[in-house]
Amino acid sequence: SQQGEEDPQALSIQEGENATMNCSYKTSINNLQWYRQNSGRGLVHLILIRSNEREKHSGRLRVTLDTSKKSSSLLITASRAADTASYFCATDDDGNNRLAFGKGNQVVVIP
């Protein structure tokens, strides 16, 4: 089954800076979701963007979706130490009855 692929794999930034990570996928989708995983914890749902949407905001998060390029980006503005986590994108992989997750981006925010 198709999976999202995040890029880059690891990112280290200073507190206050913005963090951007990308995700690509291979098949048509109905929606794409981003999740955060703190060390030793489960995934926390951050935001869902539907295939007919191009951009969505939630607090300090901004997600874009380009269905022609089959890619999405997650921007975290004014990062905080608490944003240190791994971030995963997931797609509904049109036709499959589950979410397929990518490999994850590790983000470290240095205080």
Binding residues vs another protein (CB under 8 A): 1, 3, 30-31, 33, 35, 40-45, 48, 86, 88, 92, 96-104
Contacts of 29 (CB under 8 A, 6+ apart): 51, 67, 91, 92, 93, 94
- As measured in angstroms, the least distance from the Cβ of 98 to another protein is 5
Considering beta carbons, is residue 19 or 29 the nearer one to another protein? 29
Contacts of 40 (CB under 8 A, 6+ apart): none
Considering beta carbons, is residue 71 or 86 the nearer one to another protein? 86
AA letter at 84? T
- As measured in angstroms, the least distance from the Cβ of 5 to another protein is 10
Considering beta carbons, is residue 34 or 109 the nearer one to another protein? 34
Contacts of 91 (CB under 8 A, 6+ apart): 2, 3, 4, 25, 27, 29, 31, 32, 33, 99, 100
Considering beta carbons, is residue 3 or 71 the nearer one to another protein? 3
- As measured in angstroms, the least distance from the Cβ of 77 to another protein is 21
